[in-house]
Chains A and B, each alone.
Chain A
Amino acid sequence: MKKNIGQNIVKHKIRFDLEIIASIIRNNSKVLDIGCGDGELLQYLNINNNSDARGIELSSSLVSQCLAKGLSVIQGDAENDLSYYPDNSFDYAILSHTIQATHRPDQIIEEMLRVANCAIISMPNFAHINNRLHLLVNGTMPVNETIPFQWYETPNIHFCSINDFKNLCRKLNLNIKREIFLTEKKIIRSKLYANLFARYAIFVVVKNELGANYEFEFANKALANPKRLLV
Chain B
Amino acid sequence: MKVKSSFGASYTEYEVGDIVMLAKDKPLKLLNGASIENFPLAYQTYGKLNKDKSNAILICHALTGDQYVASKNPVTNKEGWWSSMVGANKPIDTNKFFVICSNVIGGCMGSFGPKSIDVKTNKPYGISFPFITIHDMVNAQNLLIQELGIDKLHAVIGGSAGGMQVLSWALLYPHKINIAIPIATSYRHSPQNIAFHEVGRQAIMADSNFCSGDYIIHKKFPSKGLAVARMTAHITYLSEKSLQKKFGRNLQDKESLSFHFQPDFQVESYLHHQGYSFVERFDPNSYLYITKAVDYFDLEADGGSRLANVFGKSEVNKNLKFYVISFSDDWLFPVSESRKLVSTLNSCNINVSSIEIESGAGHDSFLIGNNVLENAIIGAISYL
Q: Which of the segments B51-59, B233-241, B341-349 contacts the partner chain?
A: B341-349
List of B residues within 8 angstroms of A76 by Cβ? 339, 342, 354
**B residues 300-324 in Cβ contact with A at 8 Å:** 321, 323
Closest approach, in angstroms, between the C-beta of A140 and any C-beta of chain B? 36
**A residues 41-86 in Cβ contact with B at 8 Å:** 52, 54, 60-61, 63-64, 66-76, 81, 84-86
A115 nearest in chain B by CB position: B346
**B residues 327-352 in Cβ contact with A at 8 Å:** 339, 342-344, 346-349, 351-352
Q: Which of the segments B27-35, B246-254, B270-278, B370-378 contacts the partner chain?
A: B370-378
Given the complex of chains A and B, what is the CA–CA distance between A76 and B338 in angstroms? 11
Q: Which listed residue (A63, A70, A89) contacts B382, Cβ 8 A? A: A70
Judge whether B356 and A67 touch: CB under 8 Å: no
**CB within 8 Å: A-B pair count:** 72
A108 at interface, CB cutoff 8 A:
no
Closest approach, in angstroms, between the C-beta of B376 and any C-beta of chain A? 4
Judge whether A54 and B351 touch: CB under 8 Å: yes
B380 at interface, CB cutoff 8 A:
yes
B216 at interface, CB cutoff 8 A:
no
Q: Which listed residue (B352, B376, B384) contacts A74, Cβ 8 A? A: B352
List of B residues within 8 angstroms of A54 by Cβ? 351
B232 at interface, CB cutoff 8 A:
no
Given the complex of chains A and B, what is the CA–CA distance between A63 and B323 in angstroms? 12
Given the complex of chains A and B, what is the CA–CA distance between A67 and B384 in angstroms? 13
A180 at interface, CB cutoff 8 A:
no
List of A residues within 8 angstroms of B354 by Cβ? 63, 73-76
Q: Per-residue 0/1 for B350-374: is the Cβ within 8 Å of any A Cβ (1 yes, 0 no)?
A: 0111111110000000000000100
Judge whether A67 and B343 touch: CB under 8 Å: no
B259 at interface, CB cutoff 8 A:
no
Given the complex of chains A and B, what is the CA–CA distance between A68 and B384 in angstroms? 13
Judge whether B347 and A86 touch: CB under 8 Å: yes
List of A residues within 8 angstroms of B382 by Cβ? 4, 70
B379 at interface, CB cutoff 8 A:
yes
Task: Give the interface residue-count category, chain B.
Answer: 20 to 34
List of A residues within 8 angstroms of B380 by Cβ? 67, 70
Judge whether A64 and B355 touch: CB under 8 Å: yes
B344 nearest in chain A by CB position: A84
List of B residues within 8 angstroms of A86 by Cβ? 347-349
B383 at interface, CB cutoff 8 A:
yes
With A64-B376, A67-B375 as known contacts, state yes or no: A73 contacts B353, CB within 8 Å.
Answer: yes
Judge whether B343 and A84 touch: CB under 8 Å: yes
Given the complex of chains A and B, what is the CA–CA distance between A86 and B312 in angstroms? 12
A62 nearest in chain B by CB position: B355
Judge whether A67 and B323 touch: CB under 8 Å: yes
Judge whether B356 and A81 touch: CB under 8 Å: no
Given the complex of chains A and B, what is the CA–CA distance between A73 and B375 in angstroms? 14
Judge whether B379 and A67 touch: CB under 8 Å: yes
With A4-B383, A70-B380 as known contacts, state yes or no: A89 contacts B353, CB within 8 Å.
Answer: no
A5 at interface, CB cutoff 8 A:
yes
Judge whether B347 and A4 touch: CB under 8 Å: no
List of B residues within 8 angstroms of A66 by Cβ? 353, 379
Judge whether A64 and B346 touch: CB under 8 Å: no
Judge whether B349 and A74 touch: CB under 8 Å: no
Q: Per-residue 0/1 for A1-14: is the Cβ within 8 Å of any B Cβ (1 yes, 0 no)?
A: 10011000000000
Closest approach, in angstroms, between the C-beta of A88 and any C-beta of chain B? 10
Judge whether A71 and B372 touch: CB under 8 Å: no
List of A residues within 8 angstroms of B347 by Cβ? 84-86
With A1-B383, A67-B323 as known contacts, state yes or no: A74 contacts B375, CB within 8 Å.
Answer: no
Judge whether A81 and B355 touch: CB under 8 Å: no
Judge whether B384 and A4 touch: CB under 8 Å: yes
Judge whether B379 and A70 touch: CB under 8 Å: yes
B335 nearest in chain A by CB position: A75
Given the complex of chains A and B, what is the CA–CA distance between A17 and B383 in angstroms? 27
Given the complex of chains A and B, what is the CA–CA distance between A74 and B375 in angstroms? 15
Judge whether B379 and A72 touch: CB under 8 Å: no
Judge whether B353 and A71 touch: CB under 8 Å: yes
List of B residues within 8 angstroms of A72 by Cβ? 321, 351-353
With A4-B383, A67-B323, A70-B379 as known contacts, state yes or no: A60 contacts B355, CB within 8 Å.
Answer: yes
List of A residues within 8 angstroms of B356 by Cβ? 60, 75
List of A residues within 8 angstroms of B372 by Cβ? 60-61, 64
B323 nearest in chain A by CB position: A67
Judge whether A67 and B376 touch: CB under 8 Å: yes
Judge whether A85 and B375 touch: CB under 8 Å: no
Extra contacts besides A1-B384, A60-B356 (6): CB < 8 Å: A4-B383, A60-B372, A67-B323, A67-B376, A69-B383, A72-B352
Please list 19 pairs of residues, one from A and one from B, whose beta carbons are closer than 8 Å in the complex, sorted by A's number.
Answer: A52-B351, A60-B355, A60-B356, A60-B358, A61-B372, A64-B372, A67-B323, A67-B375, A67-B380, A68-B378, A69-B379, A70-B380, A71-B379, A72-B352, A75-B355, A81-B343, A84-B346, A86-B347, A89-B349
Counting from the closest, the 10 A-B pairs by CB-CB distance are A70-B383, A84-B343, A68-B375, A67-B376, A68-B379, A74-B354, A67-B379, A84-B346, A70-B379, A64-B372
